[in-house]
A = this chain, B = another copy of it.
């Protein structure tokens, strides 16, 4: 069972455990923070397949397979598979769902999907009807550029505010019984749109949603930044992270400290910065950072309270061309270790 705290936050009376987790990625993603921490590395971004979309589906399935393998489980042991991604009709997840054969619920939250699938999975576990939920997502640089901006062959120049969609995937096996890491609180965000129209500036579009969710979370739980070992947003990048600090200060009176990190600024190392401009993005970015780096640190006792706030820009491949501004959403999951 779960209960409401304040206006928007939900507390799980029975914690939900991250039984296993895995991240996979491409060569670039193996060059930064996650070097040596990916369950599989695909040096060839095609994964040997004949389309970027098929490659992304395979990437997502590889993360799910790795998480299941680490738990010593098969698909038949899992009650529900929740997944989504950025591609039209969430096709990477649909084809990964076909490969896994588990009862399947598709979700859509753009780059907030890792938190969304974990939050929905956790609440469904709280209902008592399911005992294990596989939550996952993916993104692929080439598939995303082709869909949202230009095909790579066009060679379009990327402005400094642009973020680099990670070729990566993550999966978490949630379970009703277990040890740390555990999910204890969560929040579904509201859609926020302050009018940003630039599809090359996702950070600016998403920062207001992140500020709204984090501010509401602190208000509802009567906590402040110092109560957390890590406040992990994803993926605001350089531009969005700065805006988040400004908005939290001006709208909520909250000053973020050094315990705030953004997945978009963690994934790649500094020497990769020329290529990636304002940071990493894509559903796979926060998924891979969470599953490849943060959950292992919580399990090892190096982090105890992590507020994971994944952000999604809810534009479509056509909405910016039709003059629409970019709505955004941020979902929060509090993940705790052993005290």
Which residues from chain A sit less than 8 Å from chain B, CB to CB? 1-4, 8, 10-11, 50-51, 53-54, 79-80, 84, 86-91, 93-95, 97-98, 100-110, 116, 119-120, 123-124, 126-130, 147, 187-191, 193, 314-319, 322, 324, 327, 329, 331
Contact = CB atoms under 8 A, between A and B. Distances in A.
B317 A104 contact: no
A102 B192 CA distance: 10
**A interface secondary structure, majority:** mixed
Contacts of A102: 190
A166 to B, nearest CB: 18
A88 B316 contact: yes
B327 A95 contact: yes
B2 A322 contact: no
Contacts of A190: 101-104
A324 to B, nearest CB: 7
A188 B105 contact: yes
Contact of A94 (B79, B97, B191, B322): B191
Contacts of A104: 188-191, 329
Given A106-B107, A107-B107, 15 more contacts: A8-B103, A10-B130, A80-B188, A88-B317, A91-B316, A97-B329, A101-B190, A101-B191, A103-B190, A104-B188, A104-B329, A106-B314, A123-B124, A124-B124, A126-B129
Contacts of A110: 89
Contacts of A120: 105, 120, 124
B116 A123 contact: no
Contacts of A86: 89
Nearest to A122: B127
Given A98-B191, A128-B126, A87 B322 contact: no
A2 B80 CA distance: 14
A314 B89 contact: yes
Contacts of A87: 316
A2 to B, nearest CB: 4
A106 B86 CA distance: 12
Contacts of A327: 94-95, 97-98
Contacts of A106: 84, 107-109, 116, 314, 329
Contacts of A324: 54, 95
A98 B319 contact: no
A84 to B, nearest CB: 6
